[in-house]
Amino acid sequence: MRTMKGRDLLTLSDYTKEELEKILQLSLSMKHDVKCGNYTRPYLSGKSVILLFQKPSTRTRLSFDVGVHQLGGHPIYLNWNDLQLGRGETIADTARTFDAYADGIVARVFKHTDLEIMAENARAPVINALSDLAHPCQALGDCLTIIEKKGKIEGTNVVFVGDGNNNVCRSLAEAVLKLGGNMTIASPNKYQISQSYADYIKKGAAKGSSLTLMEDPKAAVKDADVIYTDVWVSMGQEAEKEERMVAFRPYQVNSELLSNAPSDVIVMHCLPAHRGLEITDEVIDGKNSVVWDQAENRLHAQKGIMALLI
Ligand code: CP
Ligand code: NVA
C-alpha cells in the first residue's frame, strides 16, 4: 500500500478500497480510545492545521477543530472573507503562504477547482471539507456509522433519496461502491447523478457492488438497509430554490416512505436538516434515525484521515 502521508483528499477517487478501510479502521480504534476516556493520540504533536471556510459550517468546523486538538495539534480557523483572499489575493499565493506556516489545510469552498489550485500550490495535504463537487469526509464518517450499525458496507443496500447530483450523494455513492455496497439513488431525472460522474465512480467500484438509478422513492427503499437524505437546496444553489422545492416534494423521507422499507432500516442525514422538507420530525427523531451518531462519527473519521495524511 502506498503511504498516505502528504497526500491530498479532494475526492475519494485517489484512494483504494484498502486505503479507505485503513482510514476507517484507525478511526474506529481512535473512537474506542475516546470512549475509554483516552482523548489524545499525539499524531499531530507540534503541527498546525488551517481550517479555511468559504461557506457556513457547524459540524465540519467543530469536528476538525476538536479533532486536531485531540491529536495534539493546533487548529487555526480562518474565514475566507477575513483573509486577503477576500480582497483579491490569488488562491495560489494564499496556498503558498499557508504552506510556509502550516502542516495541513482543510478547506470548504464553493468551487471544487479552487481546491485543486490549492493542492497544486501547497505541499501540505489539502483536505476537502465540502465543495460543490464532493464531501469525502462526510462519506467516510457515514461509512463508519453504517459499519457500526449494520456490521459492514459490503452487500449493504444504501438508498439515497433526494438530490442525486449533490456533493453528499456523489461522495457517498463513491465510497459505498468502492467498499463493495449497493447504492441506489432515487431522484427526479433532472437532478439524478450525472451520467459522467456515475461512470467515473463505477470505474473504482469493488466487484459485487452495484449502482442503481431510479425515480420512484417507494420502490427504491423496498430492500433498503440505509435510507439517506440531504437538503434539496445546497449552499450556492439558492437561486434554484423555488423550482427545487416543487421537484423534490415527492422525495420527502416521512413515515409513509419508511412503511415501504424493512423495519430495521437506519435513516441517515448529513445535517443540517430542514425539518418538514426533506425529512419529517417524526422520522429524524424516530427509532430508525442514527443522525446523532452520524454527526459524532465525523470527528472520529476525520481524526483517522488527519493522522494518516498530515
Ligand atoms: N454535514 C456537514 O458538513 O455539516 P456542516 O455544514 O454543519 O459542517
Ligand atoms: N449538500 C449540502 C450539504 C451540507 C453539509 C450543501 O452543500 O449545502
Residue range 22-31, pLDDT digits in tens:
999 999 999 9
pTM: 0.97
Instruction: Determine the pLDDT at residue 171.
Output: 98
Residue 128 has pLDDT above 90, yes or no: yes
Instruction: Determine the pLDDT at residue 41.
Output: 82
Of 79, 64, 225, 60, the residue nearest 154 (C-alpha):
225
* Domains recognised in the chain with CATH numbers: 12-134+298-309 (3.40.50.1370), 138-295 (3.40.50.1370)
Mutate to test the pocket of ligand 1, among 298, 299, 302 (most ligand atoms within 8 A of CB): 298
Contact 53, 86 (CB under 8 A): no
Residue 39 has pLDDT above 80, yes or no: no
Instruction: Determine the pLDDT at residue 184.
Output: 98
| Atom of ligand 2 lying closest to residue 60 CA | 5
CA–centroid distance for 154 within its chain:
19
- How many angstroms does the Cα of residue 243 sit away from the middle of ligand 1? 24
- For the segment 6-34, the average pLDDT, to the nearest whole number, is 96
**Mean pLDDT over each residue of the chain, to the nearest integer:** 97
Of 220, 135, 214, the residue nearest 172 (C-alpha):
135
Instruction: Determine the pLDDT at residue 51.
Output: 98
CA–centroid distance for 86 within its chain:
26
With a 6 Å cutoff on the Cβ, whether 163 touches ligand 2 is no
How far from 63 is each of 9, 135, 138, 149, 159, CA to CA, in Å? Answer: 17, 14, 11, 21, 26
Cα–Cα distance measured from residue 282 to residue 27, given in angstroms and rounded to the nearest whole number: 31
Strands of 226-229's sheet, edge to edge? 210-214, 182-186, 157-161, 226-229, 266-269
Residue nearest to atom 1 of ligand 2 (CA): 234
